[in-house]
Structure 1
Amino acid sequence: MEMQGSRTLAVTQEQAWSALNNPDVLKASIPGCDKVEATGENQYAVGVAVKIGPVSAKFNGKITLTDVQPPESYTLSFDGQGGAAGFGKGQAQVKLVPQGTGCELNYSARAQVGGKIAQMGQRLIDGVAKSMAEDFFRRFDEEMQRRHPEAYAAAAAAQPAPEAEVAPKAGGIPVWAWIAGAIVLIALVWWMR
């Protein structure tokens, strides 16, 4: 399975980078996650509960970061075991690109699953994986809003105000002239009866 996506964040590249390397932020952002613990330099132990169709499983695994280029990018490798439910492993490239006063978080990932979970069917697995990725981005963005409200307030203030609606002119003739003409026409039709 392959996925890719992006999300625009109001926080700076450095703030997003710091958060992506913070076990507490990751734990709060990963759906079903109950553990993210640093086990070494650029290595983490994780625990995640996943439900795909009728199969529920608790995956314990590890995440290793390689090709680390602060505050821009890294490659994340993951390997998790879910007991009888199966396994999941894969790799994701994560990149932060400065964009105005904020940044854009881009990712592309490849994953492989096996065991009972793989028997659920590729469409179901792809749907759950995409939903989890969207949940991660939403939760990560919410965590950034909670930790850096000033960045989001500044981004909201920088949005252009909606333009006030102006009464349209029909063919260059002012609308009041059209209304006056309609009144005259109605009066003329009434008088001719």
Structure 2
Amino acid sequence: MDMNGSQRIEASREAVYAGLNDVDVLRQCIPGCESIEKTSDTEMTAKVTLKIGPVKASFSGKVTLSDLDPPNGYTISGEGSGGMAGFAKGGAKVTLEADGDATILHYTVTADIGGKLAQLGSRLIDGTAKKLAGDFFSKFGEIVGGGAPAPEPEPTEGEKKGWLGKLMG
């Protein structure tokens, strides 16, 4: 799965770059993050629990930063094991563009999953991934930019049907 997007953050490139490297900021922004620890200047370990459709999984894994170009961006990659649920691995190329006193954060994400999670279907996985990315960047913009959170992403057709089913049932 590939996904890309951008978000305007009301902070300098230096502040945004610093936030992307701050484990306390990342802990608050990563959906389901239970722990994240910096093990070196370019490596972290993390534990995240997520519910994807009917499957709830806890992932433990390693995150590596590369192509460091402060304050312009970097590449972040990681992989984690969710036990019986499967595995997830992927990365994101993040670039920061100055826009007056603000910063435009551009991202290109690639992800691969395996195991039981892969059997859930690409529409559910893609919808969940887009929601998680939206949640992360919304919270990140709120914390680093100190402003109001970004608007919520539009629900997918499957999510809309899920709400309707709950209302009707």
- Structure 2 residues not aligned, in runs of 5+: 149-169
Distance in 2, Cα, partners of 1:104 & 1:37? 27
Which residue of the partner structure matches residue 103 of structure 2? Answer: 103
Segments of 4+ moved more than 3 angstroms: none
Secondary structure class of the residue paired with 1:28 = helix
Distance in 2, Cα, partners of 1:3 & 1:80? 19
AA paired with 1:101?
D
The offset of 1:145, in angstroms, is 4.1
Q: C-alpha deviations, 1:148-171, integer Å up to 9, x for none?
A: xxxx59xxxxxxxxxxxxxxxxxx
Which residue of the partner structure matches residue 70 of structure 1? Answer: 70
- Structure 1 residues not aligned, in runs of 5+: 147-151, 154-193
Secondary structure class of the residue paired with 1:45 = strand
- Percent sequence identity over aligned pairs: 47
AA paired with 1:38?
K
List aligned pairs for 1:102-141, cutoff 5 A: 102-141=102-141
Q: CA separation of 1:145/1:98 partners in 2, compared to 1, >3 Å: closer, same or farther?
A: closer
Q: C-alpha deviations, 1:119-166, integer Å up to 9, x for none?
A: 0000000000000000001111121244xxxxx59xxxxxxxxxxxxx
Q: How many residues align?
A: 148
The offset of 1:40, in angstroms, is 1.4
User: Over aligned residues, Cα RMSD in angstroms?
Assistant: 1.2
1:56 aligned onto 2:59? no
Secondary structure class of the residue paired with 1:40 = coil
Q: Judging by fraction of residues, say which structure has more helix.
A: 1
List aligned pairs for 1:16-35, cutoff 5 A: 16-35=16-35
Distance in 2, Cα, partners of 1:32 & 1:91? 18
Q: Judging by fraction of residues, say which structure has more strand.
A: 2
* Greater length-normalized contact order (CA 8 Å, ≥ 6 residues apart): 2
Distance in 2, Cα, partners of 1:98 & 1:4? 19
Q: CA separation of 1:98/1:145 partners in 2, compared to 1, >3 Å: closer, same or farther?
A: closer
Distance in 2, Cα, partners of 1:52 & 1:9? 28
1:88 aligned onto 2:74? no
TM-score (structure 1 length as normaliser): 0.75
Q: Is the contact between residue 9 and residue 145 of structure 2 (CA under 8 Å) also seen in structure 1? A: no
TM-score (structure 2 length as normaliser): 0.85
